[in-house]
Amino acid sequence: MISQNALHHAEKCRFCWMCRHLCPVQHQTGKELNTPRAKGLLLSMVNKKAQNFDKDMAQAMYECLLCDACTNDCATGYQPPLFIREARTEAVVSETAPESVMKLIENIETTGNIFGDEKPSYGQDGTDVLVYVGEVAAIKVPEMAKNLLALLAKAGVSAKVLEKEPASGVMLGDLMGYTEEVRQQAAVCAKAINETNLPVVVLDSYDAEIMTQEYPEWDCELTNGVVTATAFVAKLLEEKRLEASVALGDVGACHDDDRLARTFHEFTPVRKIAVAAGYELREMFNHEKLAKSCGTAVSYGYMPELVARIARGRWDDLIRTDAKAMLVANPESWLCLNLCVPKGYQLVDLFGALL
């Protein structure tokens, strides 16, 4: 059941194949099936009844990070993630989605997150801002969350973290497209955040993306403002509420998280934080708006080996510069890049580095 709007995107390609060269999944697998355009063609064939939507096709739809690199560079302005998300909905409805995906959805149904674990409590009940930690940082990259909270405390910002932080809906949305179930998760999350009457600082830009892009469309807008953690910390630096470290001559390169770069057009804050943390910067191939994804927590959940290869590809980009440190400020990127840190190189959490 692919919408007319999504089919409109899937079928109006000029065959320029630029997306083929930009897709981080296709880079690693070399499979033509992994190009965004191939996925569009498959859906077009299903629409014309030339092909059934079967398990192989569903598998192809999940071999995508939804990083939007293809949209960013499409000359015609079409958006492959739009029809890929709907294809994932179709896969779940028609029960053709891979078992590994269904297992993650089950985990979300029982615990609210793909990992199937409970989120820890932070015991923070401040009054200036609400920090939305998100599932990935809370469960898999807890140090990054603690570092951010410590950094805010150092700057004199009184931060609150919800005792039972509801899921934002981004994980479920990535796994099965934007359905009513996802909207309901979003509504619960928005209600809990709005009840605090505090502006929300969001650590994981994936959460920030759904909160700013989809919540208003779904009638559950956050009423006190949303800011990414990187933008917030960069502002604290500007206001001299945080002090820069002494430069030690370490050379690093910032990994631009794809959603932060392409949805928020946010490249400068993370570099300001890196410089303030004492790093001399280099730039990797495909940075800023062309940011190359290193994988997501959700994709790691259902295709860990492929995500490790994709992350390794990003390390290769770093190695081509003379930087020795991969600088990240996003828990999803940290989780994936940490799968394969090359010998002699460092994965650095920028919030921790600035402490």
Partner 1 sequence: MKHILVCVKAVPVSTSVEVDGQHRLKRDGASLQWNIADESALEAAFRLTDEGGGVTVLTMGPPKLEGILTELLAKGARRAVLITDRLMAGADTRATAKVLAAAAEKLGPFDAIFCGCKAIDGETGQVPGELAAVLKLPCVSNVERIEMSGDGLIVARRIENGIQDMEVAGPVVVSFSSYSYPLRLAGILGMRRARKTVVEVLAAADLGLSPEDCGLKGSLTKVVAVEPRFPGLRRGPKETDMEAGVQRLCGILREVRR
Of the candidate spans 4-12, 54-62, 278-286, 312-320, the one that interacts with partner 1 by CB under 8 A turns out to be: 4-12
Beta carbon nearer to partner 1, 1 or 248: 1
Report the C-alpha gap between 3 and 82 in whole angstroms.
Answer: 10
Does the footprint of partner 1 cover residue 92 (CB under 8 A)? yes
Is residue 179 a contact point for partner 1 (CB under 8 A)?
Answer: yes
Min CB(241)–partner 1 separation in Å: 33
CA distance 263 to 252: 24
Given a contact cutoff of 8 angstroms between Cβ atoms, the answer to whether 163 and 118 are in contact is no
Question: Per rule CB under 8 A, is residue 183 in the interface with partner 1?
Answer: yes
Q: How far is the CB of 180 from partner 1 (least distance, A)?
A: 4
Report the run of H or E that residue 328 belongs to, with start and end. strand 325-328
CB of 96 to partner 1, least distance (A): 13
Q: How far is the CB of 261 from partner 1 (least distance, A)?
A: 23
- Quick one: 82 exposed, middle or buried, by C-beta within 10 A (0-12, 13-18, 19+)? buried
How many CB atoms sit inside 10 A of residue 186's CB?
Answer: 26
Give the total of residues touching partner 1 (CB under 8 A): 19
User: Are 252 and 321 a contacting pair, CB within 8 Å?
Assistant: no
Which of 26, 79, 89, 263 forms a contact with partner 1 (CB under 8 A)? 89
Of residues 109 and 243, the one with the C-beta less far from partner 1: 109
- Rounded Cα gap, residues 30 and 32, in angstroms: 6
Which range of residues in 198-206, 212-220, 249-257, 341-349 is near partner 1 by CB under 8 A?
A: 212-220
Contact 216, 207 (CB under 8 A): no
Does position 8 bind partner 1 by CB under 8 A?
yes
Q: Nearest approach, Cβ of 5 to partner 1 (angstroms)?
A: 6
107 binds partner 1 (CB under 8 A): no
Where in 62-169 does DSSP place strands (E)?
A: 129-132, 159-160
Spatial distance between the Cα atoms of 245 and 242, rounded to a whole number of angstroms: 10
Report CA-CA distances (Å) from 252 to 94, 247, 265, 319, 325.
46, 12, 21, 10, 4
- Residue span binding partner 1 (CB under 8 A) among the ranges 86-94, 197-205, 270-278, 287-295: 86-94
Please write down the HEC assignment for all residues of 57-70. Answer: HHHHHHCCCCCCHH
Q: Are strands 200-202 and 129-132 parallel, antiparallel or unpaired?
A: parallel
Q: Which stretch binds partner 1 (CB under 8 A): 17-25, 51-59, 118-126, 216-224?
A: 216-224
Q: In angstroms, rounded to a whole number, what is the distance separating the alpha carbons of residues 150 and 226?
A: 20
Structural contact between residues 44 and 13, judged by C-beta atoms closer than 8 angstroms: no
- 182 or 274: CB nearest partner 1: 182
User: Binding residue for partner 1 (CB under 8 A) from 15, 48, 76, 180?
Assistant: 180
Q: Minimum CB separation from partner 1 for residue 56, in Å?
A: 21
Which of 72, 73, 142, 218 is the binder for partner 1 (CB under 8 A)?
A: 218
Examine residue 1 and tell whether it contacts partner 1 (CB under 8 A).
yes
* Dist CA 54 CA 33 (whole Å): 14
Q: How far is the CB of 293 from partner 1 (least distance, A)?
A: 26
Our finding on whether 93 is near partner 1 (CB under 8 A) is yes
Residue placing its CB nearer to partner 1 in the complex, 92 or 242: 92
- Per CB under 8 A, 100 contacts partner 1: no
Q: Would you count residue 219 as binding partner 1 (CB under 8 A)?
A: yes
The 8-class DSSP code of residue 130 comes to E
CA neighbor of 88 nearest in space, from 29, 184, 148, 175: 175
Instruction: Assess 178 for contact with partner 1 (CB under 8 A).
Output: yes
| Residues in contact with partner 1 by the rule CB under 8 A | 1, 3-5, 7-8, 89, 92-93, 176, 178-183, 217-219
